[in-house]
Amino acid sequence: MSNETNVTWHEHSVTREAREKRNAHKGCVIWFTGLSGSGKSTVANSLDHKLHQSKIQSVVLDGDNVRHGLNAAPGMLKDTHGDEFSNRFGLGFSAIDREENIRRIGAVAEIFAQTGVVALTAFISPYRTDRDKVRNTLKDGEFIEVFVDTPIEVCEQRDPKGLYKKARAGEIKGFTGIDDPYEAPLQPELVLFAAEKTPDILADEIIEYLKDKNIIGG
């Protein structure tokens, strides 16, 4: 018999409602998506600071950091089982690895939302179906897709990590926007024009949305 059948769902006695009542705000997932260099991390961090100052429980799950831990690349996983372990559980940038990357992040973000936290995720998350799968794990209104709509020319000019330069030179393969697709959301809850406005103003736009939807007070 497979172990799977012995895994049962454990009911938690501290309810989500109780947590949200204590926090005086609701939990949700604010899912930033956009090209590399579009401004996801910058806006997410500005928003995180503002929420924190307003005594709102928030957390940021950010691309690079998650790829150092939860979703580390095969070569980064140091363990006693050698390559076999690394190759099975480490994640790279192939389509299937990107899909698993987003699935795991979505699952973690969902736990935060369930515990009454405003979870901010800052991943390119280029594929529409992967984002929609996360949306479908959450209740209506809990998944707030924020499209950081910065033209690729602007992203490429910013290029703080030098990644576009490397992609253009063929040193990185499968780079989103260059030789891998970016599928823009069809019906995002919010679109941020991050080539035209400051991160501070964009973070305020999200706060207004959260107030409007009664996720946070004020």
* CB of 52 vs ligand ATP, minimal distance in Å: 18
Q: Which does 194 bind (CB under 5 to 8 A by kind): Mg ion, ligand ATP, none?
A: ligand ATP
| CA 172/CA 184 separation, integer angstroms | 22
Closer to ligand ATP by CB, 110 or 156: give it.
156
Distance CA 54, CA 38 (A): 26
Exactly one of 66, 138, 194, 203 binds ligand ATP (CB under 6 A); that residue is 194
- HSE-up of residue 193 (Cα within 13 Å, Cβ side): 2
Instruction: Give the one residue of 28, 113, 117, 122 binding ligand ATP; rule: CB under 6 A.
Output: 122
Q: Rounded to whole angstroms, how far apart are CA atoms 69 and 77?
A: 9
Q: How do strand 28-33 and strand 143-148 relate by DSSP bridges?
A: parallel
Q: Is 125 in the site for ligand ATP (CB under 6 A)?
A: no
* Partner whose footprint covers residue 37, from Mg ion, ligand ATP, none (CB < 5 to 8 Å by kind): ligand ATP
CB atoms within 10 A of CB 111: 12
The verdict on whether 41 is a catalytic residue reads: no
Strand order in the sheet with 118-122: 58-62, 118-122, 28-33, 143-148, 190-192
- Binding status of residue 33 toward Mg ion by CB under 5 A: no
* Smaller CB separation from Mg ion, 25 or 150: 150
User: Which residues of this chain interact with ligand ATP, rule CB under 6 A?
Assistant: 34, 36-42, 63, 122, 124, 158, 160-161, 194, 197-199, 202
Query: Active-site residues: which are they?
Result: 125
